[in-house]
Structure 1
Amino acid sequence: MESWDVLVIGTGPSALRAAIESSDSGANTVIIHQSPGPIISPSTAGLAASLGETTPEAHIKDTIALGDESTNEQAVRRTCSSSVEILSELERWGMILRRDKGGLPHLSSVPGHAAPRLSGAGDATSRYLTQILDEQVLKRSIQRRQNHIPLSLVMDNSQIRGIVALDLLDGKVKPYQCKAIILADEGYQGLWSNPSIGSGNAIAMAIRAGINPQNLHKVPLHPMVIRGTNIPIPFEILGAGGRYRSESGEDIDPLDHGGDAVVDMRFIDDQHSLWFDSIRKTILDSTGLDVSIDVIPVTHQVMETTGGIPVDEKGRVTIESGKMWATGVYAAGPSAS
């Protein structure tokens, strides 16, 4: 039986970054995950950071305003306050950022933000982010166990001892021993469409281990998903000259509109359009629509989830309504709430 200091469950940016931090702390770390499912266009094309502001307070205020009564203000404050530092770290590691005429990171305007805040590389942001983190994992020689489906947590008196996983290559169920585990897998958005794009397996493992999730019923809807597909159009399209319109042609706010609509990308100039070439090609291949002459019919659909495993400010999984910790169990990214 393999024995590790830290097991990281997942394959996306949250899992990769957790594995990097774990390894840098000196822990013997392994990443366990199933092969990625279908490649789905990201619902955003940038990373929110208050680069053009003296403080992150307005960013914090906007984020809280988009939440509800269960929004954790401390978590929002911590995340928004560290966003500039995280973006700087990614750039040091080789992240490509779109630049403005002054050579500074280009900031896009999107609904819900009172100021331009999204920085990245257009619709390639998610791909570059994963690639950069993958490179950092390789540089640290962090091992992976791919083609594994984690089945269950092995707990002893609310303390992690390891997991049991199915190896898809040989069909064997294998135990992995550990001192700590980080659950950083995908959310459960696939339950509304295709489980392979988000089955919520890490959350299900926690539930089977007696850890009660929270806020699973609070599921945000993305208002710009192409009808009949699982393809979201990034919000940044609207900051680049795209328009969100009712089916009668009236400009409307995607955050206030609850019905079907269309996205008009016909008048995005060349300066911006080259940063959204991937979504243009995806739309053409999946629907036959040419964004230079056609409007894109869109609807509301679940593309991400926010509920999950309850954690404290250090990412430790809490039990008994937050009164105690599940020793050695942590959660991050879409798996956490």
Structure 2
Amino acid sequence: MAGNDKRRGGVRKTSKKGMVVGSGGQRRRGLRGKGPTPKAENRVSHPAKQKADARAKAEHQRNKRQQAAENTPELVAGRNPVVECVRAGVPATGLYVAQGIDIDDRVDEAVREAKLRGIPVLDVPRTELDRMTSNAVHQGVALQVPPFEYAHPEEVLRTAVDTGLPPLIVVLDGVTDPRNLGAVIRSAAAFGAHGVIVPQRRSAGITAVAWRTSAGTAAQLPVAKAVNLTRTLKDFKKEGLMVVGLDADADITSDQLDLATGPLVVVVGSEGRGLSRLVRETCDQTVSIPMATGVESLNASVASGVVLSEVARRRRLR
């Protein structure tokens, strides 16, 4: 009979609909904004993030290699560089002379001066000297120098002030070639500068190549490292020094540099990109070197030599 729930197989549904699990506010929260989209280099899986991480890793490795190089003794190779370093009183821990080489006046002088200064003189096989100098052109002699001890920028300024002369300080901005660094140090010493300052990062340091190019003058002139180059320049300006930067698009040419006779900082940028933006904005004046048509630029060491020569000339005539 219809509606008979007693028949065999019939099931009566006696339960009523109970409480239903709700969304718990998920739908409402889902309608909210998630904020600004992160930059590409901050997204974990984005290619820009991977490239940024790779650059950071490469920079870290580069800094580690630079620190390791700065804490490792260097070898100055070649007869003329070795003699010049010994004459200049470069701190050295050993003079290596290859066995069986032809002895000339330079080798005699290097050995004699080394013994007078208490530097050990060691005879080594030529093959061993080849290995030690990574097959450089050593001409049978090499001088081992300890890691360079950098000064502080304040020490350079204090040394300059103590001379009683108008301070003259050379600052390098982004010069990464140690040959250029050594040549700039040599020019700075030749034209009466009181010190050279390099940035702590992205800059060449005093290596064997720089020692060789400087012809030992790095032992006579204080070289300092600045943690923040722009801040260091601003500190010098507070002490009364004028900051002049070498730049192709400059305010004046070097033969118009009237600031040369006063307390002066000469800033030299890299040959490729020149002065960095912040350093250029910190300069009181920019100076270019008059050149013949068709010549684009000079490298850092030559440019600094030209300007420092003009500064020295003006100071002599003062």
Same structural fold, with TM-score higher than 0.5 when normalized by the shorter chain: no
TM-score normalised to the size of structure 2? 0.26
- Structure number with larger C-alpha Rg: 2
Q: Tell me which protein shows more helix as a share of its residues.
A: 2
TM-score normalised to the size of structure 1? 0.25
